[in-house]
């Protein structure tokens, strides 16, 4: 270190800031790796996970100690902080392993106190992990100094241990031990920051706390972000399931209403409809998938249309214009059934004479387009304006596409009185890599 006192202070301060920056950069890089992030998120870790965590910290930190020895870059030496942090997050043995690896270059260079001190820091962090509630560890942040008076007052008032204060005192105690050993035996036995002034000594202690609490804060933010993403996924799945479940009673009610009208006048037809309906319901009960291929969706639609063909006989004809390259496109389960049901119920059921329905699919760049068109009674302009919000079927389809695809999923309805109607779905293409059982 330079001999000029003022320059020595500036040099040490820059070194401490550099040390904090090195730890923050390392923590940020490590959390970007999926395996390392997985280890942080889940508290139950087996030995392979702990070994990965240990190597993730120890390898770059050992390189940092080596750079101090070879290049005199003191800011890269994170022996105390790295060993303590490893023990605090992954347990005493992991902390001791990381400490031992980090201290090896220093031990080879003749710093005899490096190995026992580093291993001791690892065990100290691991011991606190065993005693401290885990969420209190993750709550340890660089802002602990701002709340220190309040935390101390709470401890004195409630006569109860505050783990934030305990963690803070543990780090200060370890730094005090390093400073004491270093001053007694010199930095040839244990590396330490020799402070030229009292205020910089305080800064050294503060920097030690910040160098441990900063990566904890970074990693805890990653844990919170993961939890929020998981909650969003669960909420999305629950909402999709609720919307899908809404369709089944709606379809069942309409079908049973049709059966009740056939029982007296056409009992054989009613019996056939009930048999087909029982088969379709068994299929729906077996299916737990939120998404299926278009091929499977069309198979489910065929079962539903079998029921309607029995009801209407030769009055109903269905044509499919399905592009072969769309059959493996992933679609939300039961997304076409409300459209087909609406076409029959509102367009064809009251039409005098035969009615025709066409189901189409095609690709439009990176989107799939599905259409259900009929030549029934059509739809008035007034009804066209309210159809998306007033009916269960169309509103359900629109909401499901909005929840799943956002603004990329669209539903359009067009038609005119006496000229039939057409419903059109458009959403991003996903291709099934393997068969999805319905």
Q: Is the pLDDT of residue 433 over 60?
A: no
Least confident span in 15-19, 80-84, 151-155, 233-237: 233-237
For helices 148-158 and 163-185, give the axis angle rounded to 10 degrees.
Answer: 110
* Measured CA distances, 189 to 54, 65, 182 (Å): 25, 14, 7
Per-position b or e across 235-260, b if 16+ CB within 10 A of its CB: eeeeebeebbebbeebbeeebeebbe
pLDDT of residue 349: 79
Q: Which pair of tokens denotes residue 197?
A: 């002034």
pLDDT of residue 38: 81
* Measured CA distances, 151 to 144, 168, 208, 310 (Å): 9, 11, 20, 76
Residue entry with tokens 């244990």: 190
Domain ranges of the chain: 5-230, 263-428
Percent of the chain's residues with pLDDT above 70:
88
Residue 278, Cβ neighbours under 10 Å: how many? 10
pLDDT of residue 438: 36
Least confident span in 3-17, 65-79, 233-247: 233-247
CA distance 28 to 18: 15
Compute CA 218 distance to the chain's CA centroid, rounded to the nearest angstrom.
Answer: 17
Which residues neighbour 113 within 8 Å (Cβ) at sequence distance 6 or greater? 181, 185, 189, 190
Q: What is the mean pLDDT of residues 379-402?
A: 79
Compute CA 390 distance to the chain's CA centroid, rounded to the nearest angstrom.
Answer: 35
Mind listing the pLDDT tens digit for each residue in 225-261?
887 777 776 666 666 565 555 545 656 776 777 677 7
Q: 40, exposed or middle or buried, with CB in 10 Å at 0-12, 13-18, 19+?
A: buried
Contact 436, 291 (CB under 8 A): yes
Least confident span in 38-47, 49-58, 201-210: 38-47
CA distance 264 to 258: 12
State the average pLDDT for the chain: 84
Q: What is the mean pLDDT of residues 139-143?
A: 87
pLDDT of residue 253: 72
CATH number of the domain located at residue range(s) 263-428 in this protein:
3.30.565.10
- Its pTM stands at 0.62
């Amino acid at each position: 270190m330079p001999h000029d006192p003022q320059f020595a202070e500036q040099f040490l301060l820059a070194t401490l800031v550099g040390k904090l920056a090195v730890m923050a950069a390392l923590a940020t890089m490590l959390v970007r790796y999926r395996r390392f992030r997985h280890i942080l998120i889940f508290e139950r870790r087996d030995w392979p996970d702990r070994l990965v965590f240990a190597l993730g910290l120890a390898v770059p930190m050992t390189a940092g100690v080596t750079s101090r020895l070879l290049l005199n870059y003191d800011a890269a030496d994170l022996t105390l902080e790295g060993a303590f942090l490893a023990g605090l997050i992954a347990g005493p043995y992991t902390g001791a392993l990381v400490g031992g690896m980090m201290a090896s270059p220093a031990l080879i260079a003749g710093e005899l106190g490096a190995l026992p001190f580093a291993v001791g820091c690892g065990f100290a962090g691991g011991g606190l992990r065993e005693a401290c509630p885990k969420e209190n560890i993750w709550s340890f942040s660089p802002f602990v100094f701002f709340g220190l008076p309040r935390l101390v007052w709470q401890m004195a008032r409630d006569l109860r241990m505050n783990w934030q204060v305990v963690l803070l005192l543990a780090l200060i105690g370890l730094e005090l031990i390093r400073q004491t050993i270093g001053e007694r035996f010199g930095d040839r036995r244990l590396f330490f920051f020799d402070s030229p002034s009292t205020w910089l000594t305080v800064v050294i202690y503060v920097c030690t706390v910040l160098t441990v609490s900063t990566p904890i804060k970074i990693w805890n933010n990653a844990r919170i972000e993961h939890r929020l993403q998981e909650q969003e996924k669960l909420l999305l799945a629950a909402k999709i399931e609720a919307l899908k479940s809404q369709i089944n009673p709606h379809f069942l009610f309409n079908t049973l209403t049709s059966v009740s009208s056939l029982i007296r006048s056409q009992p054989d037809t009613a019996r056939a409809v009930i048999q087909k309906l029982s088969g379709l319901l068994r299929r729906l009960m077996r299916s737990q998938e939120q998404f299926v291929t278009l091929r499977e969706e069309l198979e489910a639609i065929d079962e539903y249309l079998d029921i309607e063909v029995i009801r209407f006989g030769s009055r109903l004809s269905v044509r499919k214009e399905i592009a072969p390259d769309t059959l493996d496109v992933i679609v939300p389960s039961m997304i076409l059934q409300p459209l087909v049901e609406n076409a029959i119920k509102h367009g064809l059921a009251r039409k005098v004479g035969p009615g025709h329905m066409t189901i189409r699919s095609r690709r439009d760049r990176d989107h799939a387009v599905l259409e259900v068109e009929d030549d029934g009674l059509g739809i008035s302009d007034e009804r066209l304006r309210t159809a998306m919000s007033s009916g269960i079927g169309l509103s359900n389809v629109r909401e499901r596409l909005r929840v799943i695809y956002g603004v990329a999923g669209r539903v359009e309805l067009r038609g005119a009185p006496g000229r039939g109607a057409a419903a059109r779905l458009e959403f991003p293409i996903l291709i099934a890599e393997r068969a999805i059982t319905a």
